[in-house]
């Protein structure tokens, strides 16, 4: 039976919030969707901040960060008002999973549910009854977790949620006296079949993956199915350091650890991060911004620093943003990568700043700098798939601060293709290479590299670099022809053919000139002049020939000796005298 679609409330709200944080967001094609979280309508509001506001931010046109085109959609009646959940997405739908219910005033959590938003139909529906759990799931019961790290991989129609916790504000029937349970499992959701799988083993213990909440999870297209990289987060007692990160190999369903290189960011929770890839897939760069330190309790400190973790080198690079219009330090914000732009949305800014409206900021990922607004032309053709870290999102160029570490240029060609620190023996990064990811075919051509990406809906997008460096062609479900090689070969063949024709034409031209000189010499002799005319050009002997003006052939010979291009373009006129 079809799940009922729910009507929408008539009064849209939320676009003009004084402050918003802990929301859920997703980028689909050229629109960012923002759902729920917490928001203040004024600086003195300290309760009733939980909401189910539903907003969009269009990326089709240029806009200034001070006046972004935020649009409030009607609020749905069914989906709960939650914060710190996740909004999975395919190319056509959004899926609301998890989240915390309000603690001021206290709202009792309802039974676990998952909600789907049909973008084309503009309808929400509860699809909980349509979901199932795979037979190889480590836990057959799916709970509503919160403050975990989520990511969508629309190419594969998959969503992931790592870690988080369960407590009285997530789980129906739990008491506030019940101890919070931190998680380290990885929840996978198949958006095509509505099937959950709870990955509770597969190297979790061997790799020493800790329980954690409030971190981030990134998808990187490295290896056959890609990898997930978990950064940051912690529990009430411990925090995950950023000098060693957890890596999940999707194809092998296996966790490993990877030591990082370079200076390391301070440990933190609630940062945001997004991925942009070089056009040839030789490097994938995680942009990491903000977050907070919760120690000591009730005196948390927010950060405004920016970092890049470049993969496969796994080297941290701190971005120098001195002198730039850096947003106020924040935590609980979200980031979406669109072409060469990372859009930062909302965030908790501490007690020193009462409002942060509209709270939208843009980081130029190619230039590694904060900008005054969004420029749509820099992301033309991106169509939003870039938030799933596809190879070569349109408009993105590898910044110089990364090139200085890994080599290559703005379009790729990274010379560092393995982790700088010794990898785990089972590491998918140590054994992988550009082009392995089967959903992206990378082909070389004389003038650059083309990355062809096939989406889950069958759509195909391409990204082209202007440099000849890049990866080798990878196998894929939608293998692309080597267009560059075909075009280059055709152009080269035509050039060779033209050159041969011109050489042959020049030999023929020299032959005709000799014939022309012989004719002029015979004509001169017949009129009592020296045969010397045959040994020089006609122009130098024009004075001699003027005495023969009554002879038509002589008149023709008065002109300059025919040029090569004249003979080539008009042989009949240029060489008519030869036939006299």
For the chain, give every domain's residue range.
20-374
Here the tokens at position 321 are: 């943003």
- Rounded to the nearest integer, the mean pLDDT of the chain is 81
Q: How far apart are CA 82 and CA 101, in angstroms?
A: 5
Cis peptide bond upstream of 296, omega within 30: yes
Tell me the C-alpha distance between 308 and 145, whole Å. Answer: 29
* SS3 at position 154: helix
Confidence (pLDDT) at 5: 58
Can you give the pLDDT at residue 204?
Answer: 63
Q: DSSP readout, 475-524?
A: P-TTPPP-HHHHHHHHHHHHHHHHHHHHHHHHHHHHHHHHHHHHHHHHHH
Strands 195-199 and 132-133: parallel
Mean pLDDT of all residues in 129-146: 92
**Residue 359 pLDDT class (50, 70, 90 cuts):** very high
Q: Which of 66, 16, 31 is nearest to 372 (CA)?
A: 66
How far apart, in whole angstroms, are the C-alpha atoms of residue 377 and residue 440?
Answer: 24
How many whole angstroms from its chain centre is CA 250? Answer: 19
- Asked whether the whole model's pTM tops 0.95, one would answer no
Condensed to tens digits (0 to 9), the pLDDT of residues 369-426 reads: 999 999 987 665 544 443 344 434 568 999 999 999 999 999 999 999 999 999 988 8
Mean pLDDT of 421-450: 70
pLDDT at 525 over 70: no
Strand, helix or coil at 118?
strand
Task: Name the DSSP letter for residue 381.
Answer: T
**What pLDDT does residue 211 have?**
92
| Fold of the 20-374 domain | Neuraminidase (2.120.10)
């Amino acid at each position: 039976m079809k799940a009922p679609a729910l009507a929408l409330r008539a009064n849209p709200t939320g676009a003009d919030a004084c402050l918003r944080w802990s929301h859920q967001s997703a980028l689909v094609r050229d629109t960012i969707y923002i759902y729920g979280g917490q928001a203040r309508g004024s600086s003195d509001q300290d309760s009733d901040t939980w909401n189910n506001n539903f907003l969009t931010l269009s990326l089709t046109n240029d806009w200034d960060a001070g006046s972004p085109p935020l649009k409030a959609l009607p609020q749905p009646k069914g989906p709960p008002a939650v914060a710190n959940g996740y909004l999975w997405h395919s190319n056509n739908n959004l899926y609301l999973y998890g989240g915390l219910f309000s603690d001021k005033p206290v709202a009792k959590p309802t039974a676990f549910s998952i909600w789907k938003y049909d973008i084309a139909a503009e309808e929400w529906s509860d699809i909980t009854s349509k979901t199932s759990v795979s037979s190889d799931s480590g836990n057959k019961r799916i709970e509503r977790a919160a403050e975990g790290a989520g990511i969508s991989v629309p190419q594969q129609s998959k969503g992931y949620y790592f870690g988080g916790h369960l407590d009285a504000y997530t789980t129906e029937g739990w008491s506030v006296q019940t101890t919070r349970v931190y998680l380290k499992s990885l929840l996978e959701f198949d958006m095509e079949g509505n099937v959950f799988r709870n990955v509770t083993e597969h190297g979790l213990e061997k790799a020493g993956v800790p329980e954690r909440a409030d971190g981030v999870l990134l998808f990187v297209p490295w290896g056959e199915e890609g990898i997930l990289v978990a950064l940051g987060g912690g529990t009430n007692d411990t925090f995950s350091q950023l000098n060693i990160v957890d890596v999940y190999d999707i194809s092998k369903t296996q966790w490993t650890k990877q030591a990082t290189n370079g200076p390391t960011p301070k440990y933190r929770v609630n940062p945001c991060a997004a991925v942009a890839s070089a056009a040839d897939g030789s490097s994938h760069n995680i942009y990491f911004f903000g977050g907070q330190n919760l120690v000591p309790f009730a005196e948390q400190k927010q950060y405004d620093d920016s970092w890049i973790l470049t993969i496969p080198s796994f080297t941290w690079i701190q971005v120098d943003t001195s002198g730039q219009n850096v947003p106020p330090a924040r935590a609980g914000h979200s980031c979406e990568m669109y072409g060469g732009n990372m859009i930062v949305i909302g965030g908790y800014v501490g007690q020193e700043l009462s409002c942060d409206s509209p709270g939208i900021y843009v980081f130029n990922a190619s230039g590694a700098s904060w900008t005054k607004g969004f420029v749509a032309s820099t992301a033309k053709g991106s169509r939003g798939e870039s938030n799933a870290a596809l190879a070569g999102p349109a408009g993105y160029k590898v910044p110089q601060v990364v090139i200085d570490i890994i080599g290559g240029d703005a379009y790729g060609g990274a010379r560092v293709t393995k982790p700088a620190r010794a990898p785990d023996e089972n590491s998918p990064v140590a054994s992988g290479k550009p082009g392995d990811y089967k959903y992206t075919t990378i082909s070389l051509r004389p003038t650059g590299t083309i990355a062809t990406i096939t989406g889950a809906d069958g759509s195909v997008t391409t990204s082209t670099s202007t440099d000849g460096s890049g990866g080798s062609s990878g196998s894929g479900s939608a293998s692309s022809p080597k267009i560059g090689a075909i075009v280059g070969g055709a152009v080269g063949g035509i050039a060779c053919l033209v050159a041969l024709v011109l050489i042959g034409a020049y030999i023929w031209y020299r032959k005709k000139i000799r014939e022309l000189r012989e004719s002029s010499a015979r004509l001169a002799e017949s009129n009592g002049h020296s045969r010397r005319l045959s040994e020089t050009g006609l122009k130098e002997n024009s004075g001699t020939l003027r005495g023969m003006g009554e002879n038509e052939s002589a008149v023709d010979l008065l002109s300059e000796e025919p040029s090569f291009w004249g003979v080539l373009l008009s042989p009949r006129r240029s060489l008519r005298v030869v036939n006299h």
